[in-house]
Amino acid sequence: MSEQPQFTIKVDQNKYLPEGGREVHAIVSVEGTGSPTAATTASAAEVIIIDTSGSMSYPDTKLRAAIAAAQAAVDTIRDGVYFAVISGANSASMVYPGNAVLVRADARTRHDAKMAVSRLTASGGTAIGSWLRLADELFGPHQDGIRHAILLTDGKNQHESAEELDAALFRCSGRFVCDCRGVGTDWEVAELRKISAALLGSVDIVADPHDLVADFQAMTEAAMGKAVADVMLRVWTPQTAKLRYVKQVMPSVADLTSKRVDTAAQAGDYPLGAWGAESRDYHICVEVPPGDVGKELRAAWVKLVVPGAAGEEPQVLATGNVLAQWTDDEAESTRINGRVAHYTGQAELADVIQEGLQARKDGDLDTATARLGRAVKLADEAGNEAITTLLRKVVDVVDPVTGTVRLKKNVDKADEMSLDTRSTKTVRTRKGEG
């Protein structure tokens, strides 16, 4: 275990509550640091899923770019990692190897995989649930290591029911992490976001197929940098308290509340996926019964844990406390922690962007203007320049401070989808805040 990354937990909050106060907010920052050796020696498995439905041949640059991207990803897989490539259409089929198993990466298997990928052709429909089920089958014998998939599609999931996709996501949840990419503009952002959220991955648009190679390389390199699988945030609360929510707020907004798995009467685990040398932030909200002035309470006890060996308890990697103390000092109890305020605004930013774009699509221009104007104001306050740039492609900004905007009449669909997919990406607080 000496090569395992070192983890720390830092809690940012204002613990002081007014008399009668009940709601406690905290930002829990988790950081993993360590030698790259930890990642290069970790057991890992990688599955690349390429959409080969008929639409991938129109224009044919999409399929050619997807082939090149898959080959680049295969080249990025390090020696010893188990891998496979799947072709997805009305059903899923193996591209490499020929049978439904993962093989170890080495010079020969990478060469053979790239040759097999080069022969891909496009035909048929789109049934993403079947693609995920085959990936899950491949990952089955490798549940003790890091498991990561890349899923690329250019269209909607039209050839299976929503219930079939939901069933596949239920089956695959917690079994592997999946990063989703949509190429072009004929796919549904909400659909891929649903898949990526269920499988703890990312979602993004690659509007220009020529950008696929760099994107696949980056995703695979990130996966190869993971060192610890199946990390969980365990949250204990007092018997009289209620855990309102647990949300990831950095590097993107993701609500983990519904993913809780109870581990004891007052504790539950929230899956975080695989970790390397990185940091992420989580917003925890706990409702506690009011206490007397001066009383201090541990509102939550957070632990970072990983599964233990067979028959052993989970290993605790780091711990932190969320506190509550009641005071009659109004200055103390009304002071909002800077990081809590920042990330609360970032979560709202994601919501108002998605609401605004939906209202625009529905023809409710007043609501669209109000929501996207609010988004401009929040992005400006947070210093989220990437989102501000994307917003300016959808609205004309009159005053970012007040959020006064005008909807653009003609908006490129790729710009609109880019804003939607990246609405959940967050930035850290500006220097000196928090």
Structure tokens at 381: 């306050």
Is the pLDDT reported for residue 4 higher than 80? no
Q: What DSSP assignment string belongs to 239-265?
A: TT-EEEEEEEEESB-EE-GGG-EEEET
Listed in sequence order, the residues at least 6 apart from 206 whose beta carbon sits closer than 8 Å to its beta carbon are 181, 182, 183, 212, 215
| pLDDT value of residue 430 | 61
Token pair 């406390």: residue: 321
pLDDT at 429: 74
The confidence band for 308, taking pLDDT boundaries of 50, 70 and 90, is: confident
Over residues 111-161, the pLDDT tens digits come to: 999 999 999 999 999 999 999 999 999 999 999 999 999 999 999 999 999
Summarize the confidence of residues 389-401 as an average pLDDT.
98
Of the listed ranges 255-269, 300-314, 325-339, the one predicted with least confidence: 300-314
Mean pLDDT of 268-294: 97
Integer CA distances (angstroms), 300 to 291, 320, 368, 413, in order: 15, 9, 39, 44
Residue-level pLDDT at 431: 43
Q: Which SS3 state, helix, strand or coil, does residue 201 take?
A: coil
Q: Among residues 230, 270, 224, which one has the least CA distance to residue 144?
A: 230
Answer yes or no: are the C-beta atoms of 197 and 50 closer than 8 Å: no
Could you tell me the pLDDT band of residue 434, with boundaries at 50, 70 and 90?
A: very low
Report d(CA 364, CA 422) in Å as an integer. Answer: 22
Do the bridges between strand 254-255 and strand 242-250 make them parallel or antiparallel, or are there none, so unpaired? antiparallel
Output the pLDDT for position 42.
Answer: 85
Angle of helix 338-362 relative to helix 413-421, nearest 10 degrees, comes to: 150
pLDDT tens column, 63-75? 999 999 999 999 9
Task: Provide the residue count of the chain.
Answer: 434
Q: Average pLDDT in the 98-121 region?
A: 98
